[in-house]
Amino acid sequence: MDQKFEDLTITKDGQLLLAKAEKDQVETVWERHRAQQPQCGYCDLGLSCRICVMGPCRVDPFGEGPQKGVCGADADIIVARNLCRMVAAGAASHSDHGRDLVEVLEGVSEGTAPGYQIRNVEKLQRVAAEYGIDTAGKDPLPLAGELAQAMMEDYGMRQKQIRLVQRAPQKRRDLWKKIGITPRGIDRETSEMMHRTHMGVDNGWQSLLLQALRNSLSDGWGGSMIATEVSDILFGIPAPKPTTVNVGVLKENQVNIIVHGHNPVVSEMILKACESPELLALAKEKGAEGINLAGVCCTGNELLMRHGVPMAGNHLMTELVLSTGAVEMMLVDYQCIMPSLGTVAACYHTKMISTSDKARFPGMEHREFHPETAEKMAVELVKEAVLNFANRGRTYIPVEPVNAIGGFSIETIVGALGGTPEPLLDAIKAGKIRGAAGIVGCNNPKIKHDYGHVTLTKRLIENDVLVVDTGCVSVANAKAGFKVPEAIEMAGPGLKEVCGSLGIPPVLHLGSCVDNVRILVLVSALADALGVDISDLPVAGSAPEWYSEKAVTIGTYFVASGVTTVLGPMPPIAGSMNVVKLLTQGLKDVVGATFAVEPDPEKAALIIRRHIEGKRKALGLSALDV
Q: State the average pLDDT over residues 452-474.
A: 97
Tell me what pLDDT residue 622 has: 84
Phi, psi of 438 (to 5 degrees): -100, 115
Of 84, 318, 102, whose CA–CA distance to 210 is shortest?
A: 84
Per-residue pLDDT tens digits for 297-322: 999 999 999 999 999 999 999 999 99
- The neighbouring-strand residues paired with 244 are 403
Tell me what pLDDT residue 451 has: 98
What's the mean per-residue pLDDT of the chain?
96
Per-residue pLDDT tens digits for 502-547: 999 999 999 999 999 999 999 999 999 999 999 999 999 999 999 9
Q: Look at residue 596 and tell me whether its pLDDT is greater than 70.
A: yes
Cα distance between residue 358 and residue 73, in whole Å: 34
Q: Helices H, strands E: what count in the chain?
A: 27, 16
| Residue 463 CA from chain centroid, whole number | 25
If one counts every other C-beta atom within 10 angstroms of the C-beta of residue 121, the result is 14
Q: State the average pLDDT over residues 189-209.
A: 98
Tell me what pLDDT residue 104 has: 98
Residue 58 binned pLDDT confidence (cut-offs 50, 70, 90): very high
- Using CA atoms, how far residue 96 sits from 49, 103, 118, 222, 404, in Å, is 26, 11, 21, 11, 31
Q: Which amino acid is at 205?
A: W
Q: Look at residue 1 and tell me whether its pLDDT is greater than 70.
A: no
Tell me what pLDDT residue 3 has: 82
Residues sharing a CB contact under 8 Å with residue 153, sequence separation 6 or more, in sequence order: 159
Q: State the average pLDDT over residues 246-252.
A: 98
For 459-469, b where at least 16 C-beta lie within 10 A, e where not — what string? bbbbbbbbbbb
